[in-house]
Amino acid sequence: MNQFANILSVENILLDINVTSKKRAFEQAALLFENHQGVSRSTVFDSLFSRERLGSTALGHGVAVPHGRIPNLTQPAAAFMRLANPIPFDAPDNENVNILVILLVPENATQEHLEILASLAKTLSNEEIRAQLQSLDDEEAIYHLFAQS
Protein backbone atom coordinates (compact mmCIF):
# COMPACT_ATOMS: atom_id res chain seq x y z
CA MET A 1 0.00 0.00 0.00
CA ASN A 2 1.38 3.39 -0.93
CA GLN A 3 1.85 6.42 1.29
CA PHE A 4 -1.23 8.20 -0.10
CA ALA A 5 -3.58 5.26 0.52
CA ASN A 6 -2.46 5.29 4.16
CA ILE A 7 -3.91 8.79 4.64
CA LEU A 8 -7.04 8.40 2.49
CA SER A 9 -10.14 6.71 3.85
CA VAL A 10 -13.23 5.54 1.98
CA GLU A 11 -15.32 8.01 4.01
CA ASN A 12 -13.24 10.85 2.50
CA ILE A 13 -14.16 9.94 -1.07
CA LEU A 14 -17.00 11.90 -2.67
CA LEU A 15 -18.23 11.06 -6.14
CA ASP A 16 -20.09 13.25 -8.62
CA ILE A 17 -20.77 16.20 -6.33
CA ASN A 18 -22.30 19.37 -7.68
CA VAL A 19 -20.18 22.47 -7.17
CA THR A 20 -19.79 25.45 -9.47
CA SER A 21 -16.45 26.94 -8.40
CA LYS A 22 -13.16 26.37 -6.57
CA LYS A 23 -14.64 28.14 -3.57
CA ARG A 24 -17.61 25.75 -3.42
CA ALA A 25 -15.31 22.74 -3.91
CA PHE A 26 -13.09 23.91 -1.04
CA GLU A 27 -16.18 24.42 1.14
CA GLN A 28 -17.22 20.81 0.48
CA ALA A 29 -13.72 19.56 1.25
CA ALA A 30 -13.60 21.62 4.45
CA LEU A 31 -16.91 20.17 5.60
CA LEU A 32 -15.66 16.65 4.86
CA PHE A 33 -12.49 17.13 6.93
CA GLU A 34 -14.46 18.77 9.74
CA ASN A 35 -16.89 15.84 9.88
CA HIS A 36 -14.32 13.04 9.59
CA GLN A 37 -11.06 14.43 11.02
CA GLY A 38 -12.40 17.05 13.42
CA VAL A 39 -10.48 19.90 11.77
CA SER A 40 -12.36 23.20 11.73
CA ARG A 41 -13.89 23.84 8.33
CA SER A 42 -12.73 27.46 8.36
CA THR A 43 -9.13 26.35 9.01
CA VAL A 44 -9.26 23.87 6.11
CA PHE A 45 -10.93 26.33 3.75
CA ASP A 46 -8.52 29.15 4.59
CA SER A 47 -5.49 26.89 4.18
CA LEU A 48 -6.61 25.55 0.79
CA PHE A 49 -7.62 28.98 -0.49
CA SER A 50 -4.40 30.63 0.72
CA ARG A 51 -2.30 28.01 -1.07
CA GLU A 52 -4.36 28.36 -4.25
CA ARG A 53 -3.76 32.13 -4.29
CA LEU A 54 -0.03 31.40 -4.60
CA GLY A 55 -0.69 29.54 -7.85
CA SER A 56 -3.07 26.97 -9.21
CA THR A 57 -2.73 23.43 -7.89
CA ALA A 58 -4.18 22.05 -11.13
CA LEU A 59 -1.90 19.52 -12.81
CA GLY A 60 -3.72 19.43 -16.14
CA HIS A 61 -5.84 16.67 -17.71
CA GLY A 62 -8.79 17.65 -15.49
CA VAL A 63 -6.93 17.02 -12.22
CA ALA A 64 -5.99 19.29 -9.30
CA VAL A 65 -4.24 18.59 -6.00
CA PRO A 66 -5.25 21.34 -3.59
CA HIS A 67 -3.16 21.11 -0.44
CA GLY A 68 -2.57 22.99 2.75
CA ARG A 69 -0.69 23.03 6.02
CA ILE A 70 -2.85 22.82 9.12
CA PRO A 71 -1.71 23.95 12.58
CA ASN A 72 -2.06 21.25 15.27
CA LEU A 73 -2.77 18.50 12.73
CA THR A 74 -0.83 15.45 13.89
CA GLN A 75 -1.07 13.26 10.77
CA PRO A 76 -1.56 14.01 7.08
CA ALA A 77 -5.12 13.55 5.82
CA ALA A 78 -6.50 13.26 2.31
CA ALA A 79 -9.75 13.32 0.39
CA PHE A 80 -10.80 12.53 -3.17
CA MET A 81 -13.60 14.44 -4.86
CA ARG A 82 -14.96 13.86 -8.33
CA LEU A 83 -17.16 16.69 -9.50
CA ALA A 84 -20.31 16.14 -11.54
CA ASN A 85 -19.26 18.99 -13.84
CA PRO A 86 -15.72 20.30 -14.43
CA ILE A 87 -14.92 23.75 -13.05
CA PRO A 88 -12.31 26.38 -14.02
CA PHE A 89 -9.10 25.92 -12.04
CA ASP A 90 -6.46 27.92 -13.94
CA ALA A 91 -4.88 24.68 -15.16
CA PRO A 92 -1.67 24.82 -17.21
CA ASP A 93 -3.51 23.15 -20.12
CA ASN A 94 -6.57 25.44 -19.66
CA GLU A 95 -8.73 22.35 -19.12
CA ASN A 96 -11.44 22.53 -16.46
CA VAL A 97 -11.03 20.21 -13.47
CA ASN A 98 -13.35 17.56 -12.09
CA ILE A 99 -10.87 15.39 -10.14
CA LEU A 100 -9.65 16.90 -6.88
CA VAL A 101 -7.23 15.12 -4.60
CA ILE A 102 -7.05 17.20 -1.44
CA LEU A 103 -4.13 16.88 0.94
CA LEU A 104 -3.77 18.35 4.42
CA VAL A 105 -0.48 18.07 6.28
CA PRO A 106 0.80 19.18 9.67
CA GLU A 107 2.28 22.67 9.62
CA ASN A 108 5.86 21.36 9.95
CA ALA A 109 5.66 18.26 7.68
CA THR A 110 7.76 19.68 4.85
CA GLN A 111 9.55 16.55 3.60
CA GLU A 112 6.56 14.24 4.06
CA HIS A 113 4.34 16.81 2.31
CA LEU A 114 6.68 16.91 -0.70
CA GLU A 115 6.95 13.11 -0.86
CA ILE A 116 3.18 12.67 -0.86
CA LEU A 117 2.74 15.37 -3.52
CA ALA A 118 5.42 13.78 -5.72
CA SER A 119 3.82 10.36 -5.37
CA LEU A 120 0.40 11.79 -6.20
CA ALA A 121 1.70 13.67 -9.24
CA LYS A 122 3.25 10.47 -10.55
CA THR A 123 0.05 8.46 -9.99
CA LEU A 124 -2.18 11.12 -11.52
CA SER A 125 0.04 11.52 -14.57
CA ASN A 126 -0.95 7.99 -15.59
CA GLU A 127 -3.67 8.24 -18.25
CA GLU A 128 -5.16 4.84 -17.40
CA ILE A 129 -5.49 5.72 -13.71
CA ARG A 130 -7.14 9.05 -14.57
CA ALA A 131 -9.62 7.24 -16.82
CA GLN A 132 -10.49 4.85 -14.02
CA LEU A 133 -10.91 7.72 -11.55
CA GLN A 134 -13.39 9.25 -14.02
CA SER A 135 -15.37 6.04 -14.55
CA LEU A 136 -15.43 4.05 -11.31
CA ASP A 137 -18.71 4.53 -9.48
CA ASP A 138 -17.82 3.07 -6.11
CA GLU A 139 -15.83 4.71 -3.31
CA GLU A 140 -14.17 1.40 -2.34
CA ALA A 141 -13.00 0.88 -5.93
CA ILE A 142 -11.48 4.38 -5.99
CA TYR A 143 -9.70 3.69 -2.70
CA HIS A 144 -8.31 0.37 -3.99
CA LEU A 145 -7.11 2.03 -7.18
CA PHE A 146 -5.03 4.46 -5.10
CA ALA A 147 -3.86 1.64 -2.81
CA GLN A 148 -2.57 -0.37 -5.77
CA SER A 149 -0.91 2.47 -7.68
Q: Give domain status of residue 86, yes or no.
A: yes
Q: What is the pLDDT of residue 3?
A: 79
| Residue 99 belongs to domain spanning | 3-144
Question: Of the listed 36, 67, 113, 144, which one is catalytic?
Answer: 67
> By C-alpha distance, which of 94, 99, 89, 11 is closest to 51?
89
For residue 132, tell me if it sits in a domain: yes
Q: With pLDDT > 90 as the criterion, what percentage of the chain qualifies? A: 82
Tell me, yes or no, whether 70 lies in a domain: yes
Q: How many independent structural domains does the chain possess?
A: 1
64 HSE (CA, 13 A, CB side): 30
43 occurs within a structural domain = yes
Query: Is 123 part of a structural domain of the chain?
Result: yes
pLDDT value, residue 35? 96
pLDDT tops 80 at residue 56: yes
Q: What is the pLDDT of residue 145?
A: 95
Residue at 89 is within a domain: yes
- The pTM of this model reads 0.94
Q: What is the mean pLDDT of residues 128-146?
A: 96
Mean pLDDT of the chain: 94
Residue 149 lies in a domain: no
pLDDT classification of 43: cutoffs 50, 70, 90: very high
Distance in angstroms (rounded) separating the CA atoms of residues 58 and 65: 6
Q: What is the CATH number of the domain that holds 43?
A: 3.40.930.10
Residue of 5 and 64 predicted with greater confidence: 64
Q: Where residue 149 falls among pLDDT bands split at 50, 70, 90?
A: confident
* Any domain includes 7: yes
Position 91 pLDDT exceeds 60: yes
pLDDT for res 1: 54
Asked if 67 is an active-site residue, the reply is yes
The mean per-residue pLDDT over the stretch 27-50 comes to 96
